[in-house]
């Protein structure tokens, strides 16, 4: 039982970080980078910064919702929760990065 609670709390902690990132991205007036270290290049590239920030905030919140779902799933059935976390840390981050690239190309 303790393992299930720890799994759920860890997922909740990860989800809260991404929810916070999504919220701060939506209210920011400057373009928020996606861990690429290219803030100056991003400022020069983007034409619609509010639209970019809105879509990036949504992407972060969706990723956070997936973490929250894995935490709830892990509390009910730990092997499924661990499988979901593994998928989020591999395929999920790749899909989030692809979404970032699409958002950048749409707003450039």
Residue with tokens 């920011």: 28
For the entire predicted model, the pTM comes to 0.87
84 — pLDDT class (breaks 50, 70, 90) = very high
Question: Measuring CA to CA, how many Å separate 11 from each of 23, 45, 64, 73, 89?
Answer: 18, 34, 9, 10, 12
Tell whether the torsion through CA atoms of 80, 95, 44 and 31 is positive or negative. negative
**Residues with Cβ < 8 Å from 65, sequence gap 6 or more?**
15
Give me 65's structure tokens: 């919702």
List pLDDT tens digits, range 20-49.
999 998 888 888 877 766 666 777 888 888
């Amino acid at each position: 039982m303790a393992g299930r609670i720890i799994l759920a709390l860890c997922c909740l902690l990860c989800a809260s970080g991404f929810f916070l990132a999504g919220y701060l991205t939506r209210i920011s007036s400057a373009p928020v980078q996606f861990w690429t270290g290219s803030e100056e290049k991003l400022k020069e590239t983007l034409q619609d910064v509010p639209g970019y920030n809105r879509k990036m905030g949504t992407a972060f919140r969706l990723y956070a919702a997936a973490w929250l779902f894995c935490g709830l799933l892990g509390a009910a059935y730990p092997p499924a929760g661990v499988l979901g976390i593994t998928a989020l840390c591999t395929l999920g981050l790749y899909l989030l990065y692809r979404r970032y690239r699409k958002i950048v190309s749409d707003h450039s």
